[in-house]
Structure 1
Amino acid sequence: MEELRALVLDFRRIMECLNPSNFDGTSLSASQFPSACCDDSSQILAAYLTDNGFSGATLIRGEYGGNHKELQSHVWLNLGGLKIDITADQFNTRGYDNPSVIIARENEFLETFETTDDGIADFRIHLKDYSDPGLERDFEFCYKVILSHLSAQA
């Protein structure tokens, strides 16, 4: 669990440091992390976890969450029953008090959403069902940028 936590925290730290211009072609290029990029960042995180021995994370799509069902959508990972969310703090401007990283079997905030498991989250698998090769290349480029920053930090 500590190794998983360290990987997720390192990933989140790098995401906070990068500029949207580093993520051309993904939702990460249109907003400042962690806002409005939970789907794409979760898929890239899943690839990173897979490459570091934690494979099989699924993409969880939530709708109508929050205290009053006011949050239209949110996305996070499920890895063997663990909820992993690196963008829940984007809702803190709306009155929530979420940490920057959630890794938990249960989480009161995430459990307010109506959820659907959207299958394997790793973008190298997930996108094959939903997109064209151009988007896959954009995600691969973003992933390489993140990896280069992670390796420079090590």
Structure 2
Amino acid sequence: MNKDIQKDIYRIREILAGFEKSDFHSMTSFHFSSGFPAGCCGDATDLLGLYLLKYHGLDSVYVCGSGLGDNSNQTHAWLVCQGYIIDITADQFNDDGYDLPSVIIDKQSLFHELFDETTSRPISIEYLKGTGIPSVLTKVLSVMQKRESAL
């Protein structure tokens, strides 16, 4: 995966982590979670997929896994793009005894293999149209642009 795109993924994670709940669209999990990244994996995955599609022309797949370890109800979402697993919220599981980085971009991930079942869907602009995700992405991009112009 292109190094500039990888840098952007890290920037997006950093920006999301710096937002307050009130900065997020009220129709997103970001707004209702106990604090990013906890409970934000689905919307963060959609946001990242939308970014890669709109600004880099990269198709990706939203993957949702269920059944982590002894917790059959535990779910988690991540992106697969160009054969890479991309996850910007895995570290929310560190409170459960895992030692995961804030951003995972890798061809293989032992953590993601722990989920019993997975379902997937392609990322699509049309699918995300009626959600708060595009507005959160606009805010993230605005912060990215301000930071770049300040350099």
Question: Normalising TM by the smaller chain, what interval?
Answer: 0.7 to 0.9
TM-align CA RMSD: 1.7
Residue aligning to 2:138: 144
- Percent identical residues: 33
Matches within 5 A, 1:64-143: 64-66=67-69, 68-69=70-71, 72-122=74-124, 124-127=125-128, 133=130, 136=131, 138-143=132-137
| Residue 52 in structure 1 maps to residue 55 in structure 2 | yes
Residue aligning to 2:46: 43
Deviation, 1:117, is 4.0
Runs of at least 4 residues off by over 6 Å: none
State the number of aligned residues: 145
Sort the Cα spacing of 1:3 and 1:59 in 2 relative to 1 into closer, same or farther, 3 A. Answer: same
Residue aligning to 2:147: 153
Query: Unaligned 5+ residue runs, structure 2?
Result: none
Residue aligning to 1:30: 32
Corresponding residue SS for 2:63: strand
Sort the Cα spacing of 1:99 and 1:140 in 2 relative to 1 into closer, same or farther, 3 A. Answer: same
8 Å contact kept, 1:60–1:77: yes
Counterpart Cα distance in 1 of 2:73 and 2:121: 22
8 Å contact kept, 2:80–2:86: yes
Sort the Cα spacing of 1:116 and 1:54 in 2 relative to 1 into closer, same or farther, 3 A. Answer: farther
17-26 or 36-45, larger mean C-alpha shift: 17-26
